Structure 1
Amino acid sequence: MTPTGTVSTTQLSAASYTVAEGDKHVDITIARSGNTSTAASVSFATIDAAGKQNCDVMNGVASSRCDYEGRFATVKFAPGETAKTIPIFIIDDSYAEGQESFTVKLTNAVGSTIGAPAEATVTIIDNDLGNGPNPINDPAFFVRMQYLDFLNREPDAAGLEFWTNQILACGSDQTCLEQRRVSVSSAFFLSVEFQQIGYFVERAYTVLGSSSHYFQTPSGEVGVSTPVERMNEFLVDLNQVGAGVVVGQEGWETVLENNKRAYMLDFVQRPRFSSLYPTTMTPQEFEKWLFVYALPYIVPSTIGGDAVMAEFGGAKDTSDIAARARALRDVAENPLLVQREFNRALLLMQYFGYLRRHPDDYPDSNYAGYYFWQQKLFQFNGDYQKAEMVKAFISSAEYRQRFGP
């Protein structure tokens, strides 16, 4: 038995890891020792030192856009748990780039201290002797990337086979192949799994308001309103809500429900939320401002908003954390918000998913590209197929060059 006075320590299981490029993932183990009788948590992140470099650069530095999928998570230990494993997905590109490495790091321990090693180097062993054909043209590779980029997990065997066969059915018909790749990729955003996880997360952030951005065009200054979350924030939350969820597997609904409840409790205790919604607010004020930010110009009582206030059961303030979490979920799952936020989320995911960056990150320097596609969606009444948005992103040089020449 561990003495109750002993300090809990959390650390990585090794200071270095090695993975072959074709192995698809590397597992990073986080170990906890000492007094493990209470709950604890620690932040885990991959560190991208590659920055803006192109994917074909050979300098020994791995890129989270091209060589592996960036991983950001709050790792939670239940009482008695002593180890957690975080998989990092490896991208088997076709660039001959030699051995490359990146770093993983632990920070922000709660309920424990961070021990050594707190950082580790992950080395990817290249399997290409020379630059080869771009693997994104291969149906199975393409489908796997949809799972990684949108569902944040490896494909299950049945799903991989089904979606790959959808593309293979076209044979050599190039028009069919182009259309089928668009429809297959779109299906991942529209899937129950993404709608219940990724889109749920995106809607939670609407109660924090929107970001306004301005940029110059030949016609003058233009302004655009965008969601407030950055990609790394989204990936942390996507990992939290989606942990262990594979739609169709036995018990997935229960796992998802538990994840959502825990996520809402966590979200309302974050400083960013608490500063905007202090617990001294009355339930009426709390309801009002949630809807002011998430659904401006809408009277809450006309769309079932009174359920938010009812969560507090007549209390004078909103200090009940569980009630705040339930109220936030009432808003995030409000049918009108689900409908209204759809196009903004779809557009944002083109950047987060396909390009693995925020809309104003390099090679963009402002929101002109985001604004262009926003206007295209308006022009076609939200019909992304007629706007050819998905087609444009998956055929773009920026997307394709993540994987090969």
Structure 2
Amino acid sequence: MTPSVTQSKLFPTNRTVTNLAQNVAGLDFTIADNPIDDTASFVTQQYRDFLNREPDPKGLAFWSNEIVGCAFPWPECQQAKRINVSAAFFLSTEFQQTGYLVERIYKAAYGDGTGTAIVNGAHFQLPVPIIRFNEFLPDTQKIGQGVIVGQAGWEQQLESNKQSFTTEFVQRARFITALPASMTPAEFVDKLFMNAGVKPSASERADATNEFGSATTSADTTARARALRRMAENSTLTQQEFNRAFVLMQYFGYLRRDPNDGSDTDYSGYDFWLTKLNQFNGNFVNAELVKAFITSAEYRQRFGP
């Protein structure tokens, strides 16, 4: 189906970019009587959905003014402003250092999952982010607890949260099963790089391995946590995973579900939007990615008719 305010599936059966652009451009944005159409409510929801907190007064005022301070023609300007403001929460330092970091930690720890999609009637499998919404939400809340970027002490709070979270993460049974303590430091580090899909430089590999000092096994919990975090914060991984995470967060943030849940029985929608975002070199405005999700019936029905 086409992404419209009266239909809930977020990709068209005809997967051409031209048809999608025409359908999205034809959306009626004059709908009223839904709380999410109120500017302050809309901005507040971005804080809740992406930063897992209530807005701070300065932030709420700033982003609300971004939307209401429109030039004419007002409806078109407000549409564009709402899209850009919402996307700004994904792009913000606060989300990049919390939610997006959690997504990359799972990628480094466990690699990719496998999903099924249908294109022109043909079924195929594709690699997909392995993290699920019911894992992402509590872990993001842990790493972002008490963090409000711009307020005094936020860097120290974030650093403390990162250290605590990664130390706890590497002690989970799933992680220990995937990367046993009996592995040598080199084996442990190589597995992280393989899962992340990153070919390390000699110095990157050495730096990660050196977290274990002269140990012959990777049993040291704090060293494991440091090596995992080093991998998750690797600049190559951050760049490679960006578009995949951007699309994934449309489902996690706006729809509060996995890409193959709800009205989607597989990853066809996720694959469509990732393909489209890649076609536009990551330009979410030209890809009409955020626009389609925040005007979808599924998103709007979270708040009202």
| TM score, norm. by length of structure 2 | 0.86
SS at structure 2 position matched to 1:403: coil
Q: 2:77 aligns with which of 150, 173, 176?
A: 176
2:234 is matched by which residue type in structure 1? N
* 1:9-60 CA distance string (max 9 Å, x none): xxxxxxxxxxxxxxxxxxxxxxxxxxxxxxxxxxxxxxxxxxxxxxxxxxxx
Q: 1:267 aligns with which of 144, 169, 172?
A: 169
Q: Which has the higher contact order (CA 8 A, sep 6+)?
A: 2
How far has the Cα of 1:400 moved from its partner?
1.0
> What is the match of residue 185 of structure 2?
283
Q: 2:273 aligns with which of 349, 358, 373?
A: 373
Q: 1:191 aligns with which of 92, 95, 105?
A: 92
* 1:141-196 CA distance string (max 9 Å, x none): 00000000000000000000110011111167111001000100011001110011
Unaligned 5+ segments in structure 1 are: 1-131
* 1:54-77 CA distance string (max 9 Å, x none): xxxxxxxxxxxxxxxxxxxxxxxx
SS at structure 2 position matched to 1:221: strand
Identity of aligned residues (%): 53
1:208-227 equivalence runs, <5 A: 208-227=110-129
2:79 is matched by which residue type in structure 1? E
Distance 1:168 1:216 in 2: 41
* 1:211-239 CA distance string (max 9 Å, x none): 11124443422222111111111111111
Distance 1:401 1:303 in 2: 51
| TM score, norm. by length of structure 1 | 0.65
1:255 paired with 2:157, answer yes
How far has the Cα of 1:301 moved from its partner?
2.8
Unaligned 5+ segments in structure 2 are: 1-31
Which structure has greater helix proportion?
A: 2
SS at structure 2 position matched to 1:211: strand
> What is the match of residue 12 of structure 2?
none
> What is the match of residue 203 of structure 1?
104
Contact 1:303 1:336 in 2 (8 A): no
How far has the Cα of 1:200 moved from its partner?
0.9
How far has the Cα of 1:302 moved from its partner?
4.6
Which structure is larger by alpha-carbon Rg, 1 or 2?
1
Contact 2:117 2:271 in 1 (8 A): no
Distance 1:192 1:159 in 2: 14
* 1:247-268 CA distance string (max 9 Å, x none): 1111111111000000010111
Distance 2:105 2:40 in 1: 33
Distance 2:144 2:241 in 1: 20
RMSD of the alignment, in Å? 1.3
1:148 is matched by which residue type in structure 2? R
How far has the Cα of 1:271 moved from its partner?
1.0
> What is the match of residue 151 of structure 1?
51
How far has the Cα of 1:303 moved from its partner?
6.6
How far has the Cα of 1:378 moved from its partner?
1.8
Which structure has greater strand proportion?
A: 1
Distance 2:247 2:256 in 1: 13
Contact 2:99 2:140 in 1 (8 A): yes
- Number of aligned pairs? 272
Distance 1:223 1:387 in 2: 23
1:389 paired with 2:289, answer yes
1:120-135 equivalence runs, <5 A: 133-135=33-35
Distance 1:215 1:239 in 2: 30
